[in-house]
Amino acid sequence: MTATRSSDILRQVAVLSATTFMIIAAMVGTGLLGGTPVQELQGGALDADASFLAPARQAFSIWTAIYAGLIAYAVWQALPGQRDSERQRSLGWWIAATEVLNGLWLLAAQFTTLPMTVVVIAALAAVLGLTFRRIVRRPGRGVVSAILVDGVTGLHLGWVTLATVANVAAWLTQTAPDDWAAFASVVGVVVLAVVAVVGIAIGWQGRGRVAPAAALAWGLAWLAVGRLAGEPADTAIGVAAIVVAVVIAAAALVRRTARASA
């Protein structure tokens, strides 16, 4: 802990403001305030059955945990004891940026175009990746910090990583020629192989933190459900999603075990 600066209070207020913006944007973007529900936006392009790489609708319940965690973080970081924390100085503005981009994606989906949602979610994924790297480089102390900083940001990163893939797939499905559907299985499996590489890298660079892997595995499991038990059906993609989920989870656990025994 060091002496409190005026910028510390500004940071705490900024995080609270970003969280408030995110909540309001979520209420607008999901149709709770009278707008169109997400699954009906962009001509239904963002629904669970709109592309071969979209998880089943149940997967999106993870947002409840992410939003609850971000709200809890905003309250916790605003406490006097966190005001002059060097870790909060390093991370607070970055986490606030992820919340703003989170809210902007929902507004983009509600009021702009499908390509714009791809731009926003790609920016969100990039900022989350940078934020997570800073978290790993500046470890915290205590269970609360581990849950509200490492855990929540990890869940956010893992889910948005897969959501970015689904968002791009939705865009391509709407714009690509119809005959591209013949290559959906091959392309889908290749993309999931790339997701496996990214997930393993996140787990390794994250020193075995389980939250990103858990979020990715969650989304991949529901993607498998969507392809094996829903529409559009595709056995190859469904099986590949299960394999990738297991590989990512196992890689994170191996890294965590190796770190603990080092």
Q: What is the pLDDT of residues 9-65, one digit of tens each?
A: 999 999 999 999 999 999 988 878 777 888 788 888 888 888 999 999 999 999 999
pLDDT digits (tens, 9 = 90+) for 208-250: 999 999 999 999 999 999 999 999 999 999 999 999 999 999 9
pTM of the model: 0.94
Give the residue from 209, 228, 96 showing the smallest Cα distance to 158: 209
Query: What is the band of 3 on the pLDDT scale with cuts at 50, 70, 90?
Result: low
Tell which residue, 251, 177, 179, 189, has the closest CA to residue 224.
189
The two counts, helices (H) then strands (E), for the chain are: 9, 0
* Position 174 pLDDT exceeds 60: yes
Q: Residue 2: helix, strand or coil by DSSP? A: coil
- What percent of the chain shows pLDDT beyond 70? 98
Measured N-to-C along each axis, helices 152-175 and 86-111 cross at an angle, to the nearest 10 degrees, of 30
pLDDT of residue 133: 97
Q: In one letter, which amino acid is 172?
A: L
Closest to 208 (Cα-Cα) out of 251, 165, 238 = 251
